[in-house]
């Protein structure tokens, strides 16, 4: 049976381990030609190695698929451009970009250093923007040349970016930015035949093994948190079947998939005259009381009362 992404050319960043590796393997299994990008660094972004990306490529080729390795730094402008150009030069086109690469440097805000902030923002936020910028420039040029474009961008946000998580002001801010970037890019790029969506995955990987108690789960629970459970959604979003879906953020945990519903104004108060600060004491506490509570890290709102 033909795979849902048969013949499509796909870039997956951060594909040497964890969720990215699972994406790359399933894309290849479903018929795509894959550019496996990974700098080969540690969880905190330190170090480089060609080994992880090449190991995934070797695994894909051993199974009869097509793939090439790339070890460029996707958070650098030139590195992101080389990555996109490699896909085009190796396989003649580019159809899908999956922005997955990331690092962690968790710290409470009062203890966070400038370097810890800068590194995480650069890898996640710029590391999503830069590959997307070069990919969509290619698709825009192809569209203007009269070619039919059916391209995809799938970004990776996080429950931390959508709902917040203590100790992750850098990571959460970057992931929140990615969610907004996804919505805005979807508005801008539809005219060129490009859809843009994001996922907020929860899985047990080297990035998350010591977070949220994931490493203390039962074996059955750990199996449900396998990175491989995330990838079917990503591959489907990359397929021609997903042409009508754009600007959305999907939560995915095990076999559960949710559509995230973004910020919306709730209880409101208005009047003709400008408010005086002292008058708001009689208004705002009640307004907040009427508003729905913020969701927890599972994306669930606490019960009223």
Kindly name the residue from 160, 175, 231, 239 that is annotated as catalytic: 175
Alpha-carbon distance of 65 to 191, in angstroms, equals 32
Kindly name the residue from 33, 75, 143, 171 that is annotated as catalytic: 171
- Name the one residue in this structure whose structure tokens are 């996080």: 158
Backbone torsions φ then ψ of 256, nearest 5 degrees: -95, 125
Nearest CA to 93 out of 181, 2, 176, 10 is that of 10
Bridge partners of residue 256, in order along the sequence = 253
How many H helices and E strands in the chain?
10, 8
Alpha-carbon distance of 298 to 25, in angstroms, equals 27
Where are any strands of DSSP class E within 113-232?
151-156, 194-202
Bridge partners of residue 252, in order along the sequence = 201, 257
Q: Is 171 a catalytic residue?
A: yes
**Per the structure block, which two tokens stand in for 58?**
């070797």
Q: Is 138 a catalytic residue?
A: no
User: Count of CB atoms within 10 A of residue 212's CB?
Assistant: 16
Kindly name the residue from 75, 143, 158, 231 that is annotated as catalytic: 158
CA 91 from centroid of its chain's CA atoms: 24
Residues noted as catalytic: 158, 171, 175
């Amino acid at each position: 049976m033909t795979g849902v992404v048969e013949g499509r050319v796909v870039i997956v960043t951060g594909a040497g381990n964890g969720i990215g590796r699972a994406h790359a393997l399933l894309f290849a299994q479903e018929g795509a030609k894959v550019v496996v990008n990974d700098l080969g660094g540690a969880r905190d972004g330190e170090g480089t190695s060609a080994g992880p990306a090449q190991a995934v490529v070797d695994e894909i080729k051993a199974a009869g698929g097509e793939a090439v390795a790339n070890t460029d730094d996707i958070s650098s402008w030139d590195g992101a451009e080389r990555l996109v150009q490699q896909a085009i030069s190796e396989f003649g086109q580019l159809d899908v970009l999956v922005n997955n690469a990331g690092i962690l440097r968790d710290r409470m805000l009062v203890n966070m250093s400038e370097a810890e902030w800068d590194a995480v923002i650069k890898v996640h936020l710029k590391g999503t923007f830069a590959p997307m910028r070069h990919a969509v420039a290619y698709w825009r040029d192809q569209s203007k040349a009269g070619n039919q474009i059916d391209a995809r961008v799938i970004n990776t946000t996080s429950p931390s970016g959508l709902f917040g998580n203590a100790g992750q002001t850098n990571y959460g801010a970057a992931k929140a930015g990615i969610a907004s970037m996804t919505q805005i890019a979807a508005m801008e790029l539809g005219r060129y035949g490009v859809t843009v969506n994001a996922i907020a995955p929860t899985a047990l990987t080297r990035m998350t093994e010591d977070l949220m108690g994931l490493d203390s789960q039962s074996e059955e629970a750990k199996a449900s948190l396998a990175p491989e459970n995330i990838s079917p959604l990503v591959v489907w979003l990359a397929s021609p079947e997903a042409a009508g879906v754009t600007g959305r953020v999907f939560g995915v945990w095990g076999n559960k998939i949710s559509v995230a519903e973004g910020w919306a104004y709730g209880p409101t108060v208005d009047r003709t005259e400008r408010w005086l600060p002292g008058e708001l004491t009689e208004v705002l506490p009640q307004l907040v009381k009427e508003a729905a509570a913020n969701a927890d890290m599972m994306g669930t709102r606490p019960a009223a009362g």
